[in-house]
DNA sequence: GGTGTACTACTCGGATATCTACTGTCCGAGTGACTAGGG
DNA sequence: CCCTAGTCACTCGGACAGTAGATATCCGAGTAGTACACC
């Protein structure tokens, strides 16, 4: 089981967008250059965020991405769901109804394994939903206060 | 993000082994036939369980797999870790230290995103570790009491 | 009849193909800004 | 000096390859049971 690498990129980009404010749009190429990521592929992830309503995109010159709502209202769960899709990690294929096992009583009782797995996954989702982009930004500001300013300076100065 | 299908097979097989008792070994081919699964591939998953010390394997005629310890002491976390491996789903690649971002202060503060993700994943693992094979067996016995007996009969009768 | 030995069938275990989906790249559609010309 | 039309560069958006990991399969090593020959 492995999470898409795009999730890491997306969260970092959301953090940067949060620091840069909502009044300016940042092109995907610039967000990618900040971390030396492949620009076109990061763009793909940002598109997913846009479809999920987490960021808004504006085309043309001076265009780019910006957060669609305040960072307090964007949770890690939102970002993960946008990139990974709605499906849960464990997918019950109902093998208990195949072969010699299910012959006869095709009961409609829920699969106990599926239930247990879902319970664990819900705990995971709940924890993700409890943490917002603003929370993470606050943690970073606490540990290294210069980070936000460095981001603002870098995105303000370079004209790549 | 998608969990290996082998996890589902492995948990079902552990359940069956629990119902069949520790005093008899069941070949992988028979466990596979019960659900019409590819035998060689299920065997691969059972090997992973054996390496993790969840089941013991005995070769030769009358050989097969059996639980290495009572089902009360086998948790879902054990099985998932055996199949999926020890790595966590979210892997921080430390992109924050690449490119224009990290130039200058390569701080040793922990990555806040990584910390948050790990927190969620720990909640998931904790929930998995709290449920044992015996718990699931009890749930199934509660919902459809005939299941255990049907398993014992099927594995006892057929001589495939 | 008892015992030792060779044989056979059965099982796991790991090495080897195939296939899905994640990763990465490219080009076109659309939009806003800028420039130049006219009033 | 102000307004308008045309051009251009920039950006997103989706369509198109490449690749790692999961899925599926096959064959060899080892073992226990069995049959047979010998004592």
Q: Is B89 on the interface with A (CB under 8 A)?
A: yes
List, in sequence order, every residue forming a beta bridge with A64; answer none if it has no partner.
Answer: A58
**B61: domain range?**
5-86+133-157
With CA atoms as reference, report the closest residue to B20 among B75, B64, B77.
B64
B60 touches strand D (CB under 7 A): yes
Nearest CA among A68, A71, A69, A45 for reference residue A58: A68
Does the nearest atom of strand C lie within 7 Å of A44's Cβ? Answer: yes
Cβ-nearest to A99 among B33, B84, B116: B33
Q: Is the CB of A29 under 7 A from strand D?
A: yes
Beta bridge partners of B107: none
In a domain, A54, yes or no: yes
d(CA A135, CA A75): 9
pLDDT tens for B31-53 read: 999 999 999 999 999 999 999 99
CATH number at residue A17: 1.10.10.10
Contact criterion met (CB < 8 Å) for B34 and A84: no
In a domain, A124, yes or no: no
Return the pLDDT at B159.
39
Distance (Å, rounded) from C-alpha B83 to C-alpha B4? 8
Which residue matches tokens 């953090």? A15
Is there a domain that residue B112 lies in?
A: no
- Distance (Å, rounded) from C-alpha A54 to C-alpha A66? 9
Q: What is the pLDDT along chain A (160 residues), one digit of tens a residue?
A: 999 999 999 999 999 999 999 989 999 999 999 999 999 999 999 999 999 999 999 999 999 999 999 999 999 999 999 999 999 999 999 999 987 776 655 667 899 999 999 999 999 999 999 999 999 999 999 999 999 999 999 998 543 3
Contact B124, A124 (CB under 8 A): yes
Q: Which residues of A touch B45 (CB under 8 A)?
A: none
Tally of structural domains, chain B: 1
A–B interface: beta-carbon pairs under 8 A: 159
8 Å CB contact of B1 and A5 = no
User: Tokens 């969990």 belong to which residue?
Assistant: B3
Q: Which residues of A touch B7 (CB under 8 A)?
A: 90
Q: Is residue B61 in some structural domain?
A: yes
> Does the pLDDT value for residue B13 go beyond 70?
yes
User: Per-residue pLDDT tens for B70-92?
Assistant: 999 999 999 999 999 999 999 99
Inter-residue contact A83 to A41 (CB < 8 Å): no
- Asked whether residue A4, judged by its CB, lies under 7 Å from any atom of the DNA or RNA strand D, the reply is no
Residue B21 tokens read as 């008792």
> A135 burial class (0-12, 13-18, 19+ CB within 10 angstroms)?
middle
Q: Check whether residue A95 has its CB closer than 7 Å to nucleic acid strand D.
A: no
pLDDT at B100: 72
- Does residue B44 sit within a domain? yes
**Could you tell me if residue A35 is inside a domain?**
yes
Given this model, what pLDDT does residue B117 score?
98
3-state secondary structure of B67: strand
Chain B CB within 8 Å of residue A29 CB: no
Determine what percent of chain B falls in helix, strand and coil, rounding each to the nearest 5.
60, 5, 30
C-alpha closest to that of A1 among B24, B91, B29: B91
Query: What pLDDT shows up at residue B108?
Result: 76
Q: Is B60 part of a structural domain of the chain?
A: yes
- Does residue B27 fall inside a structural domain? yes
Q: Do A140 and B112 touch (CB under 8 A)?
A: yes
Query: Does residue A116 contact residue B76 with C-beta atoms inside 8 Å?
Result: yes
């Amino acid at each position: 089981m492995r999470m898409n690498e795009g999730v890491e990129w997306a969260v970092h980009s959301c953090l940067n967008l949060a620091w840069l404010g909502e009044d300016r749009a940042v092109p995907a190429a610039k967000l990618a250059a900040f971390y030396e990521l492949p620009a076109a592929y990061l763009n793909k992830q940002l598109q997913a965020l846009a479809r999920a309503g987490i960021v808004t995109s504006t085309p043309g010159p001076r265009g780019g991405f910006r957060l669609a709502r305040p960072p307090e209202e964007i949770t890690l769960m939102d970002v993960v769901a946008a990139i990974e899709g709605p499906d849960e990690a464990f997918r019950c294929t109902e093998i208990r109804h195949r072969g010699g096992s299910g012959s006869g009583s095709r009961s409609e009782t829920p699969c106990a394994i599926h239930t247990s797995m879902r319970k664990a996954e819900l705990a995971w989702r709940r924890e993700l939903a409890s943490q917002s982009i603003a929370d993470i930004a606050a943690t970073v500001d606490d540990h290294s206060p210069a980070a936000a300013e460095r981001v603002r300076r870098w995105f303000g100065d370079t004209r790549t």
